[in-house]
Amino acid sequence: MSIRQVFYSGALHTLNELTDAEPLYAVMRHCHDLRRVEQDGQAVWLGDAMEVALLAGAPSTGTVFPRIDEIPFDTERKRMSVICATPQGQMLYCKGAPESVLPLCNTMLQQGVPVPVPLDKSTRGNLLNAHEQMTEQGLRVIALAYRSLSPHVAHPLLNPDTTTSHSTKPTSGQVAGYLPHAGRAERGGQSQANDSLRELYSNESDLIFAGLVGLVDPPREAVPAAIQTCHAAGIRVIMITGDHPHTACALAREIGLTQNPQAVTGDQLRTMSDTDLQLLLDEPGLLFARTSADQKMRIVQALQRRGEIVAVTGDGVNDAPALKCADVGIAMGLSGTDVAKEAADIVLLDDNFATIVAAIEEGRAVYDNLRKFLTYILTHNVAELVPYLAFALFHIPLPLTVIQILAIDLGTDTLPALALGAEKPDPGIMLRPPRLRGERMLDWGLLMRAYLFLGPLEAAAGMSAFFFVLQGGGWQFGNKLGFHDNLYLQGTTACLSAIVAMQMVNIFLCRHPTMSAFSRGHRRNRLIAYGIVFELVLLALIAYTPWGNALFGTAPLEAGAWLFIISLMPAMLLIEELRKALVRRSIAR
């Protein structure tokens, strides 16, 4: 953020064109709540970006006077004031929204005139015109004013020994609105303290108008693209700001939020009923300007009553109620206040809106990957269950042993399943609307695909391989086989191998519920290749090593059995591809 224009002495200037504007610079230099901190070995100002820009715009050669009191900013007053001790006596410096500061000013600085001139109707009209010009350019406009306090003005809340310079944040006893317990006891309690506060606030009157400062707050380069991504993803973005409506509208157009903004001010919102607000939220291009903390929270609550999931971003104290009320509160980590960070669920370390959109994409990818993982894992459960049902119902030899099931669950399927969990986001993941509030990760669609379609295909392949080997060895239905019979060991090995082979195909089928496994839209995932190699190596160790045969109850398979198993793999692939094609055609209609 930086200063683009300054209205001073009745005309618009750039900062470099200003001359003899020390009163204006004095307000910029003193009226802030910045903290001096060290970052990367350098001393920098930390706090509100607008205050940093104002301080940077004032010449560093000016004198800084110690601060003795502060009237803090709040959204109702829309201004803040500080009182400093100067050689000419106590000075009050004030900055805030023009509509809040200008009514307090009776005179203004005029270059070349030794005393301030009255603010008559014509001069005020000139001021307002300049204000309009600056806001229509998308500038954030701040009014600056000051006054000299009479020597007899006292501040009973202050301890003269605790006066500080502006570079240090005032203690709680120095900030108007905080009442030290000791002060209450010594000065007659609450009543006298409140009288002192009223006297302190009354100093914000008869101010001398110093000028208007127009600051440019350029959006980050990634923001317009992020806004467009939100629109494509079915995410509605609503601007709620304390800025002037013209500034908000100009920014909305610049970032591509809307080309036809409809600004609603806090004053308008204050007169609306909840029903009117609910109806207003249907309007396209809606944004809110000059809003207070309670109004921001009211907007969030109105959206939630409509069934929306609401995420709120903010950095100031006034954003805290809305951050706390939102389904997801996101505070700014660099410029955010401690109050905002405490109220939020997430702290954004780079203060970049585009990072939020990237996080949404990542969140959708994680959700999708969990569904892929579940589909892949649940599929082989059917293939493991059917052999036991067939054994119990048809009195055939047990096609798959318990230890072989563990070899699948804890061995061959582990790395491929993890590979699915690490898939990169699909190219079209931000082109679909958000899922419904009531949608569950483990839904009927996933269960039916895994248990009633892919699972039975794997089970059929496993049982087919088992009977192929047994019949090739001369077994007939009703014959009994011993658990250590070589033909039986080969049969269970064939069933195990067929299930593992089908899972090698299944990992490609589970990468997307509707997209073809042959689609170029899939991102490369080397972990899948590593997982398949791991499956093959582990299966070879189980079937072709003496310790593998002894531990898992297996025996080496002949080439004919492998040819039969391999022939089943494209069958499962083609059947699932046909189902996906039908689903895509149904969606297209």
What is residue 162's predicted lDDT score, i.e. its pLDDT?
Answer: 35
Residue 428 has pLDDT above 90, yes or no: no
Residue 256 has pLDDT above 50, yes or no: yes
What is residue 522's predicted lDDT score, i.e. its pLDDT?
Answer: 78
Q: What is the CA radius of gyration of the chain?
A: 36
- CB 315 within 8 Å of CB 331: yes
User: Which residues touch 526 (CB under 8 Å, ≥6 apart)?
Assistant: none
Among the residue ranges 190-204, 341-355, 427-441, the one predicted with the least confidence is: 190-204
Strand, coil or helix: what is 61? Answer: coil
d(CA 356, CA 544): 52
* Pick from 305, 340, 306, 303: nearest CA to 323: 340
Burial 252-269 (b: 16+ CB within 10 A, else e): beebbbbeebebbebeeb
Question: What are the pLDDT digits (tens) for 17-71?
Answer: 888 888 999 999 999 988 888 877 888 888 888 999 999 999 988 889 999 999 9
Burial 183-214 (b: 16+ CB within 10 A, else e): beeebeeeeebeebbeebeebbeebbbbbbbb
- CB 291 within 8 Å of CB 241: yes
As a whole number, mean pLDDT of residues 459-488 equals 93
As a whole number, mean pLDDT of residues 323-331 equals 96
What is residue 114's predicted lDDT score, i.e. its pLDDT?
Answer: 78
Q: What is the dihedral of CA 431, 437, 440, 445, to 10 degrees?
A: -60
Residue 422 has pLDDT above 60, yes or no: yes
d(CA 193, CA 201): 12
Q: State the Cα angle at 186 between 182 and 187, rounded to 5°.
A: 115
As a whole number, mean pLDDT of residues 140-154 equals 79
As a whole number, mean pLDDT of residues 376-400 equals 95
What's the first-to-final CA gap in the chain, in angstroms?
Answer: 50
Question: What are the pLDDT digits (tens) for 68-107?
Answer: 999 988 878 889 999 999 998 999 999 999 999 999 999 9
What is residue 194's predicted lDDT score, i.e. its pLDDT?
Answer: 62
d(CA 497, CA 462): 8
Strand, coil or helix: what is 283? Answer: coil
The one-character DSSP state at 397 is: -
Q: In the chain, pLDDT over 90 holds for what percent of residues?
A: 69
d(CA 78, CA 96): 6
Q: How many residues does the chain have?
A: 589
Give the C-alpha distances (Å, rounded to integers) separating 42 from 35, 45, 229, 332: 13, 10, 37, 22
What's this model's pTM, rounded to 2 decimal places? Answer: 0.77
5 burial (CB, 10 Å; 0-12 / 13-18 / 19+) is buried
What is residue 140's predicted lDDT score, i.e. its pLDDT?
Answer: 92
Could you give the domains of the chain? 2-216 (3.40.1110.10), 223-355 (3.40.50.1000), 358-588 (1.20.1110.10)
Pairing of strands 346-348, 79-86: unpaired
Mean of all residue pLDDT scores within the chain: 88
Q: What are phi and psi of 331, to 5 degrees?
A: -95, 155
As a whole number, mean pLDDT of residues 358-379 equals 95
| Token reading at 246 | 């013209």
Pairing of strands 286-289, 239-240: parallel
* Secondary structure (H, E, C), 313-345: EECCHHHHHHHHHCCEEEEECCCCCHHHHHHCC
